[in-house]
Structure 1
């Protein structure tokens, strides 16, 4: 059987559009501030909510930040963590500090993704892998990201913050944890390549270095090279 014989295969143009969104998705940090239509934001969050989740737990929640003072407070949290991270990069500190890592002040919409607390109610698929709640929430973020690219909306995932501090500012219930600050908005252009790749902080690994057969190859490196 060839791929064209698969009975549930999408038409070529629809299939190619999905792969294009994956290929052209970027972690965006530059936004022009133009507002997003409400229906676009609703479609994007709806796409996130279609994500798969282990045991159908749906552990994600999204908080839309519309208060200007709270947005400024979140930016301050991120800036503090950016400087702390830079302090750990003794050999490349200046290079890292020159990079723009977020677009919190410029983006049209700011969302915080919250991972709900583990109450013990969802056991299926998690008895030996309890971290599958985080994996499920990451699937929701990726859904949103790909939908945003298809809509022509830029999105950046910011992870530079102290989760306990942000949880306190958002009055999250006990055990709930923020895992992402998502910047969404109109952009002048999408980056041709990932910014960290352009800055020399990594590159896309070749496929044969991430796909193995039956067992771990004797010559495969267990971890990627450091910066």
Structure 2
């Protein structure tokens, strides 16, 4: 059955294509700038993410200053060197070969922040799970990421940064958390596989092994669903 509210088939396929072909881009950036109207569409997509209590805790810092990006890059280099110490032998060699950011390669950086005080002391839906403001901001990141893929723009999330020092570099207020530091730009290609899968660092887990029925570790009661999940695993290399 297809719901009366479902998108037309071509639009559904486009959405699923964006989901499956989204990549964390580090090394394929082109120097061409993102036109303002395109960047505005991406930011608008992010701003239309759902948020707990409709608090909309995000702000967007558009960073095109080379001086600022160089400071952030130095933060990355130091933290990356510390992270590399956790891996030895072949794993360590592989880690050091990985390119894990495009801070200076991309024409634009974007920091998406979370204002943890927005909406007042008591935000509807946030009293039990206070981290839902952070979860909400992650949804804004994903909205932007999928919209960017549809526009042919690559996005890379730089997670190897000291968030407190990053906040100082960007002059953030105390209550504002720098949730996602992103590199944006047009790319020469979107890789067929995620970079870490292609390099042999880690592979995608089979979805059928991650779905439980009514309780942890319990089998699904719906055999047809289990079969569909296993069938879908054939496309795992996408």
TM over 0.5: yes
Structure 1 residue 66 displacement after superposition: 2.2
Q: Does 1:210 align with 2:207?
A: no
Q: How far, CA to CA, are the matches of 1:117 and 1:51 in structure 2?
A: 16
Aligned to 1:84, which of 79, 82, 85? Answer: 82
Mapping 1:136-155, distance limit 5 Å: 136-155=136-155
Structure 1 residue 122 displacement after superposition: 4.2
Task: Quote the residue 1:107 is aligned against.
Answer: 106
Task: Quote the residue 2:49 is aligned against.
Answer: 51
Task: Quote the residue 1:62 is aligned against.
Answer: 60
Q: How far, CA to CA, are the matches of 1:86 and 1:136 in structure 2?
A: 31
Task: Quote the residue 1:135 is aligned against.
Answer: 135
Larger mean CA deviation between 118-127 and 133-142 belongs to 118-127
Q: Which whole-Å deviations, capped at 9, do the CAs of 1:50-96 have from their partners, x for residues lacking one?
A: 00111111111110112211110011111111111111123422111
How many residues were matched structurally? Answer: 216
Larger mean CA deviation between 40-49 and 199-208 belongs to 199-208
Task: Quote the residue 1:18 is aligned against.
Answer: 15
Q: Contact 2:52–2:123 at 8 Å: present in 1 too?
A: no
Task: Quote the residue 2:159 is aligned against.
Answer: 159
Task: Quote the residue 1:222 is aligned against.
Answer: none
Q: Contact 2:64–2:107 at 8 Å: present in 1 too?
A: no
Structure 1 residue 175 displacement after superposition: 2.2
Q: Contact 1:33–1:107 at 8 Å: present in 2 too?
A: yes
Q: How far, CA to CA, are the matches of 1:177 and 1:85 in structure 2?
A: 22
Q: How far, CA to CA, are the matches of 1:47 and 1:218 in structure 2?
A: 38
- Segments of 5+ residues of structure 2 without an aligned counterpart are 220-238
- Segments of 5+ residues of structure 1 without an aligned counterpart are 220-227
Task: Quote the residue 1:223 is aligned against.
Answer: none
SS at match of 2:106: coil
Q: How far, CA to CA, are the matches of 1:175 and 1:84 in structure 2?
A: 27
Mapping 1:185-200, distance limit 5 Å: 185-200=185-200
Q: What TM-score do you get using the length of structure 1 for normalisation?
A: 0.91
Task: Quote the residue 1:40 is aligned against.
Answer: 38
Which has the larger share of helix? 2
Q: What TM-score do you get using the length of structure 2 for normalisation?
A: 0.87
